[in-house]
Structure 1
Amino acid sequence: MTADARIAATATALAARIAALSPAAPRRLVAIAGPPGAGKSTLAAAVTAALAARGEQAVLLPMDGFHLDNRLLEPRGLLPRKGAPETFDFEGFAAMLTRVRSEARVILPVFDRARDIAIAGAAEIAPETRIVVVEGNYLCLDEAPWRRLSALWDHSVFLDVPLAELERRLVQRWLDHGLAPDAARARALGNDIPNARRVVAARGPVDCVIGRDGTIR
């Protein structure tokens, strides 16, 4: 089975699980979490598409819109650690998720990777939306304050990928961004891999874990 076929099969299986959930509120919130390079964005998009194919009103909501801006990170000495848990607006993100639970329409920020900034008011959750697929590294992190999010999820998914494979993917990601091999490796090992180790070590309880081969357990 090709990688694309494996992702599609996993997404279809997850979509069936999610569609069968009995929501505790008018909307179901689904967390797809895992370390950097695990494939969260790809799977979350595939799950959202699979839900739509079932006739569900589903929207993808990445956590990255709540990155703190470089103008705040630099004076705090956090710019080299951008992407770590402490470089996000957790309280703003948590408040937004609470609003998504209870309000018909919610306007969202979106992260523009090309410009490395969050764009305010760039997306929305519409009144007809019934399932919100939330994607991000720290959605199931068992650290304060992130563990507070666990009460919001109707279903939580964690992607489990070996560290060596994450390193390979993350180095390739920076190569694809135009960095030289040494710089790409330094960028991945200096920030991305420490964040990955932290996510894996402090994983909180989840409803299911997806292995590298797409197996759901």
Structure 2
Amino acid sequence: MPAYSPFSPYLTFSREEWKALRASVPQTLDEEDLEKLRGINEKISLEEVSDFYLPLSRLLNLLVAQSQDTYRATRLFLGDISPQVPFLIGVSGSVAVGKSTTARLLQALLSRWPHHPRVELVTTDGFLYPNRVLEERGLMHRKGFPESYNRRSLIRFLSDLKSGRPEVRAPVYSHLTYDILPDKQKVVRQPDIVIVEGLNILQSLNIDGEARPTLFASDFLDFSIYVDAEAKDIANWYVDRFQVLRRTAFRDPRSYFRRYADLTEEEATETARGIWREINEVNLVENVLPTKNRARLILEKGPDHSIRRVKLRKL
């Protein structure tokens, strides 16, 4: 049985307890699939997929099916012929914690279930203001903080999805050029499920000088996941990732971070730790971590980047 506390809104599951909830769900990924889905410097195994992600995909499949049944019943009652709207899943967590890998794994697993094969993945990075706007507003050093996002555009995108619009478009962000791609958009055409991944998807705060919004991105989500770990572990993963990028993507002449490619390993470690302390850790503590307990489910990671516990919000 999962750990129960009357003072916590969550049930806490050990690996063995959560693994048992997989039931008879078959493993639909192989090593080749997993290699394409892994994030930089992540060592996720098929065993971890089986123990944690397959039970989670089963839970989500049940919830999607329930949502589809409810929609059909309501549509029948109203005599409505409008199209079914997608089930929205939000995935949040710190920079370098592995939320992108979680989102990609869920997309791959959920698309293999019957009745909802069309699963789209959208990142909130696309809703960052372009660099020219951030520079005009003096916000380049605050990229990733709430004020660096065009939240009205994000809300409009989610609202259009939940309104059943036949075609919805999202901006696309390039991690290579560190900017929005002005001539590219992601087109979403009435999928069964949309996974929205990003730092800010669970945030519900207003920015100084702005009127308090009446709608938040999280208002549109049917289910939400927070990928959690100790800050000191995430800092180490961030440094490790920076070192890998220094030897790979940063060497591309088009890379915004080309200047870091020629650093020594020691210089790169010092630079990465400085960026983490001054920007990413501040954002984590002030804006991202406070949203953790708004999630329906929390994946807790240990120092080796593997999941060790799952917390599921009580009904």
TM-score by length of 2: 0.64
The CA deviation at 1:43 is: 0.4
Aligned equivalents of 1:7 and 1:62: distance in 2?
Answer: 24
Q: Secondary structure at the match of 2:152?
A: helix
Match for residue 101 of structure 2?
42
One-letter amino acid of the counterpart of residue 93, structure 1: L
Seq. identity, %? 23
- Note closer, same or farther for the CA distance 1:166–1:147 as it changes in structure 2 (3 Å cut): farther
Runs of 4+ in 1 over 3 A off after TM superposition: none
Aligned equivalents of 1:146 and 1:137: distance in 2?
Answer: 20
The CA deviation at 1:132 is: 0.2
Aligned equivalents of 2:272 and 2:132: distance in 1?
Answer: 24
Aligned equivalents of 1:205 and 1:186: distance in 2?
Answer: 30
Contact 1:138 1:146 in 2 (8 A): no
Contact 1:33 1:138 in 2 (8 A): yes
One-letter amino acid of the counterpart of residue 222, structure 2: D
Are 2:295 and 1:203 equivalent residues in the alignment?
Answer: no
Aligned equivalents of 2:48 and 2:112: distance in 1?
Answer: 15
Match for residue 141 of structure 1?
203
Contact 1:69 1:118 in 2 (8 A): yes
Q: Secondary structure at the match of 1:203?
A: helix
Match for residue 233 of structure 2?
165
- Note closer, same or farther for the CA distance 1:126–1:7 as it changes in structure 2 (3 Å cut): farther
The CA deviation at 1:201 is: 2.8
Which shows bigger deviation, 63-72 or 170-179?
Answer: 170-179
- Note closer, same or farther for the CA distance 1:185–1:35 as it changes in structure 2 (3 Å cut): same
Match for residue 59 of structure 1?
120
Contact 2:292 2:298 in 1 (8 A): no
Q: Give ranges in structure 1 of 5+ residues lacking alignment.
A: none
Contact 1:147 1:204 in 2 (8 A): no
Aligned equivalents of 2:220 and 2:228: distance in 1?
Answer: 22
Which shows bigger deviation, 5-14 or 74-83?
Answer: 5-14
CA-based RMSD: 2.1
- Give matches, 1:90-101, under 5 Å: 90-101=151-162
Q: Which has the larger radius of gyration?
A: 2
Are 2:220 and 1:126 equivalent residues in the alignment?
Answer: no
* 1:177-198 deviation digits (Å, cap 9, x = unpaired): 3232221211121111111112
The CA deviation at 1:117 is: 1.4
The CA deviation at 1:167 is: 0.7
* 1:138-166 deviation digits (Å, cap 9, x = unpaired): 11124235972222111011111111111
Q: Give ranges in structure 2 of 5+ residues lacking alignment.
A: 1-14, 16-42, 72-83, 207-212, 247-259, 261-267, 302-306
Contact 1:52 1:58 in 2 (8 A): yes
How many aligned residue pairs are there? Answer: 216
Q: Secondary structure at the match of 1:211?
A: strand
TM-score by length of 1: 0.90
Q: Secondary structure at the match of 2:185?
A: strand
Match for residue 242 of structure 2?
174
Match for residue 81 of structure 1?
142
Q: Secondary structure at the match of 1:157?
A: strand
One-letter amino acid of the counterpart of residue 45, structure 2: D
Aligned equivalents of 2:48 and 2:173: distance in 1?
Answer: 24
- Give matches, 1:182-193, under 5 Å: 182-193=270-281
Match for residue 104 of structure 1?
166
Are 2:310 and 1:216 equivalent residues in the alignment?
Answer: yes
Match for residue 5 of structure 1?
46
Aligned equivalents of 2:189 and 2:198: distance in 1?
Answer: 21
- Note closer, same or farther for the CA distance 1:12–1:197 as it changes in structure 2 (3 Å cut): same
The CA deviation at 1:80 is: 1.1
